[in-house]
Amino acid sequence: MGRTVPSYRMSLEEEILGWKGFRAALRLSEREVFDEMLDACRLHASAGSMSGRSVLLDSMLISILLEQQKAIKRLREELEHVKKQVGEPR
C-alpha cells in the first residue's frame, strides 16, 4: 500500500508543535499574542488547505495577516465612529 499524505490540519498542528520552543522562550504576555496568531491559522485551515501552496508557512502567514488586517479595519471604523461622535475633523 502507498503512503497517505497527512491532511492540512494535521500538518498545521505538527508545524505549530514545532514552534513550542519558540513559544516557551517568549514572555508570558507575548505567549498569549503568539497563541492568538496560531489560532488564526487554525481558524483559516479550510482556506489554507485549498490554497495549493507547497509551503505550509505561506498559508499560515496569510491567515495571520488576514486576521490582523480585519482587526485594523475594525479599529479604523471604530475610530471614525468616535471622531464623528465628538465632531473631530478627519
27 lies in some domain? yes
pLDDT tens-digit series, residues 10-61: 999 999 999 999 999 999 999 999 999 999 999 999 999 998 888 999 999 9
3 lies in some domain? no
Cα distances (Å, whole numbers) of residue 76 to 31, 52, 63, 70, 87: 26, 32, 20, 10, 16
28 lies in some domain? yes
pLDDT tens-digit series, residues 53-83: 889 999 999 999 999 999 999 999 999 999 9
70 lies in some domain? yes
Q: What is the pTM of this model?
A: 0.84
- Give the pLDDT of residue 87: 85
Q: Could you list the residue range(s) of the whole structural domain that residue 82 is in?
A: 8-86
36 lies in some domain? yes
2 lies in some domain? no
1 lies in some domain? no
User: Is residue 53 within 8 Å of residue 47, measured between CB atoms?
Assistant: no
Count: domains in the chain: 1
First to last CA, the chain: 65
User: Is residue 41 within 8 Å of residue 12, measured between CB atoms?
Assistant: yes
What is the C-alpha to C-alpha distance for residues 72 and 74, in angstroms, rounded to an integer? 5
